[in-house]
With several copies, the nearest count.
Chain A
Amino acid sequence: MATETLTMGKALNRGLRRALEDDSKVVIMGEDVGKLGGVFRITDGLQKDFGEDRVIDTPLAESGIIGTAVGLAIRGYRPICEIQFDGFVYPAYDQIVSQVAKMHYRSQGRLRIPMVIRIPFGGGIGAVEHHSESPEAYFAHTAGLKVVSCGSPQDAYTMIRQAIASDDPIVFFEPKRRYHEKGVVELDTPLSAAEPLHASRVVRPGTDATILAYGPMVRTALDAAQAAAEDGRNLEVIDLRTLSPLDLGPVFESVRRTGRAVVVHEAPGNLGLGAEIAARVTEECFYSLESPVLRVTGYDTPYPAARVEEEYLPDLDRVLDAVDRAFGW
């Protein structure tokens, strides 16, 4: 089996390339996805090799990108739409929430919109406003969409291919600050043999408390677990991977063992993923919990200026602080 060490960005690129090769109906659309290869180079080289009809530089209008992709999907295409940055998805919100999410339902299953909406998301890159948002809760709250996020190069490669192959409309959140982190990627595992797209996964087994994370915070959670281990605390880390539907079976199992859970995400806490997870974990593990499910999240402010974002974002220390609080409850 072929393995290669790839950055997450390159892994995504390879996954997209595979999808373009495997299915002639797959097309990529977005701003600057052609010659430039996208501002993050995730589509690098693809237009050159697959042509302007398969990798389409679009006019600068996000509603147009998603709206025309709906039409292409009705025509039988499988569009992959790139939204350049998290903060620029909102002009397309109506098309996503009222059209993409509902077409299958409205048609009573007669129509499928096998669309993937790729969104580089999250902060920590020192960017100006609108370039560091974590809007996943908006989409996870929307019935009819599925939402996933990858936390490693391997998952990036596999999950993007699974998402493209899926007939469900999927919002695919890419942790942009992890684009440059490397990992070994197994390239040839058939999709059928890979872990399912909508499954969470224990990425570090442990016994004392359960840390839940996704996307950019998986690395942070693992680092925290590493640090805690040095202090003699054995944390289990679960990469949620699928944000809607959530796959909480492994979480319940874990929390019943550990009795404590901390959810970590960059998005504001108020009505974020952490709220839903806390509510459900509490309901399912009521008599196992030694402390309430705690949340380590972005604060309930707009994303702040870059020079203060490190204070805004959850980090190793804040995760460990929450674990301490859970133990001290």
Chain B
Amino acid sequence: MAKGESKVGAARPPAPGPSDGAESRIPNADVPAGGFVQLLTPDGDHVDSVTAADGTTYSVDFTDEEYRGLYRDMVTVRRLDAEATALQRQGELGIWASLLGQEAAQVGSGRALRTQDMAFPTYREHGVLYCRGIDPIMPFGLFRGVDQGAWDPNEFKVNMYTIVIGAQTLHATGYAMGINMDGKTGTDDGEAVIAYFGDGASSQGDVNEAFIWSAVFNAPMVFFCQNNQYAISEPLERQTRIPLYQRAAGFGFPGVRVDGNDVLASYAVTRHALDRARNGEGPTLVEAYTYRMGAHTTTDDPTRYRIASEVESWKAKDPIARFRAFLGKQTLADEAFFAEVDAQANEVALNLRERVLEMPDPKPLSLFDNVYPNGSPHLDAQRDQMAQYLDSFEGSAH
């Protein structure tokens, strides 16, 4: 479906703008106070374009195939996520941080990246990695406990996962400063950086320093905050008393809130912000308003801090269901397509499972590897000691 074809009569959502500051979260309303950019309603109705308070008009222009691709992405990352949760339950992963409910925010923003762009994820952006074309097994080493990331950020244009909340936003900013220093901004094919973080992370000093740095150095940055309403058990009100996207204004760059359960709007807003950045117009904060449908991680028990009805109300806004409705309404896809996507996702997931189970445990002595690029005689001695010690046990092969 090309731009302009759809004239579904959805009421235009309130444009993003200053709210009264009193109530930042109305869980049972479709649209939060202060509004957000939405191109696809929960019922799957598509509006052509939406103009935000700052005058920016957002729209998407996908081919039919691309629309179906977004659906396939979302279904696949959800299926992979479910497999990971199952693997954890079966003791095959130490822990898993599920993206359930955040597929649209991740696939929309992930697909908005151009090849030359660089992403700095937290620990939950499995969907973003997937959209970068990365083997879905890549983050599993960390969660299985066989490694701690172990990939080259520059090879995949995705930094390793960062668990220390907020730290990666500064890394992203520094990387983006480097883009400026390399003269790789100011044109349509410039480079840009996206830093992912959560609503909770917005309280960390590091994140606010990243805002300052990126503003002062006009870094080509998109700060992509997935506001999934919770930092483990703590609701958004523990982090801010006004909508998060407004934080940016205080630092002198634009902030925009997007319906994070709407893959089209997530794409459009992120793409626009990235293109601003690459063109030398500096940073943008995107708040993707979404919901963590599952537990914080597999060790969490969300029933202790949130009520079932809240979760239910968000189910009505499910990012995949609405996109499926949209594809159906627009006859962009039929049941056969949906079944094929499910089947393929299933296959990818089962393949992943198999490979996760085969991931080799690290060798004991490997714990001494790669502490320093130039090595250390002190560590070499410790390694030798450990080798000798292990040799003292019968039949040990390290």
Q: Which residues of A contact B (CB under 8 A)?
A: 27, 31-32, 34-37, 39, 53, 57-61, 63-64, 66-77, 87-88, 90-91, 94-95, 98-99, 102-112, 114, 126-131, 143-144, 146, 166-168, 198, 245-247, 270, 299-302, 304-308, 311-312, 317-318, 321
Contacts and interface: CB of A to CB of B under 8 A. Distances in A.
Given A91-B205, A104-B373, A108-B370, A72 B174 contact: yes
A108 B150 contact: yes
A67 B143 contact: no
Contact of B173 (A67, A114, A311): A67
B163 A109 contact: no
B212 interface: yes
Contacts of B376: 146, 198, 245
Interface in B292-341: 299-301, 304-305
A94 to B, nearest CB: 7
Contacts of A304: 362, 367
Nearest to A108: B150
B231 interface: yes
Given A64-B212, A68-B213, A311-B367, A107 B164 contact: no
A166 B374 contact: yes
B152 A110 contact: yes
A109 B145 contact: no
A105 B305 contact: no
A296 B154 CA distance: 38
B287 to A, nearest CB: 16
Nearest to B373: A167
A197 to B, nearest CB: 9
Given A71-B175, A304-B367, A308-B366, A61 B150 contact: no
Q: Which residue, B151, B169, B231, B373, has most C-beta atoms of chain A within 10 A?
A: B373
A307 B147 CA distance: 8
B132 interface: no
A301 B169 CA distance: 26
B151 A112 contact: no
A307 B210 contact: no
B150 A107 contact: yes
A58 B232 CA distance: 12
B372 A146 contact: yes
Nearest to A69: B174
B368 interface: yes
Contacts of B305: 35-36
A305 B181 contact: no
Nearest to B154: A74
Contacts of A321: 389, 392
A166 B172 CA distance: 23
Given A76-B178, A245-B376, A299-B382, A60 B231 contact: yes
Given A36-B305, A245-B377, A299-B386, A60 B234 contact: yes
Contacts of A75: 174-175, 178-179, 182
B212 A59 contact: yes
Contact of B373 (A68, A99, A112): A112
6 contacts: A60-B165, A60-B239, A61-B213, A94-B206, A167-B373, A168-B373
B318 to A, nearest CB: 26
Interface string B16-33: 000000000000000000
Contacts of B378: 245-246, 270, 300
A300 B374 contact: no
A307 B144 contact: yes
A144 B372 contact: yes
Contacts of A109: 369-370, 373
10 closest A-B pairs by CB: A71-B174, A67-B170, A306-B145, A68-B174, A75-B178, A36-B233, A110-B152, A71-B175, A245-B378, A59-B203
B153 interface: yes
Interface of B: 94-95, 120, 123, 141-155, 159-160, 162-165, 167, 169-179, 181-182, 200-201, 203-206, 209-210, 212-213, 216, 231-234, 238-239, 299-301, 304-305, 361-364, 366-374, 376-379, 382, 386, 389, 392-393
Contacts of A198: 376
Q: Which residue, A60, A105, A246, A308, has most C-beta atoms of chain B within 10 A?
A: A60
A253 B144 CA distance: 46
A126 B367 contact: no
Nearest to A113: B373
Given A35-B304, A108-B369, A70 B160 contact: no
A146 B379 CA distance: 12
Nearest to A112: B373
A167 to B, nearest CB: 4
A217 to B, nearest CB: 18
A209 B95 CA distance: 41
Given A104-B370, A130-B163, A308-B361, A72 B177 contact: yes
A24 B238 CA distance: 24
A168 B372 contact: yes
Given A58-B238, A64-B212, A107-B151, A71 B176 contact: yes
B371 A64 contact: no
A32 B204 contact: no
B167 A98 contact: yes
Contact of A95 (B141, B167, B367, B369): B167
A129 to B, nearest CB: 5
Contacts of A27: 181
A59 B216 contact: yes
Given A109-B373, A307-B362, A128 B209 contact: no
Contacts of B151: 107, 110
Given A63-B205, A300-B379, A72 B178 contact: yes
Contact of A60 (B123, B203, B389): B203
A168 B372 CA distance: 6
Given A64-B203, A71-B171, A307-B361, A301 B379 contact: yes
Contacts of B361: 307-308
Given A59-B238, A64-B212, A143 B371 contact: yes
Contact of B94 (A36, A95, A126): A126
A179 to B, nearest CB: 13
Contacts of B368: 299, 301
A27 B178 CA distance: 10
A31 B174 contact: no
B163 A129 contact: yes
B168 to A, nearest CB: 9
Contacts of B173: 64, 67-68, 71
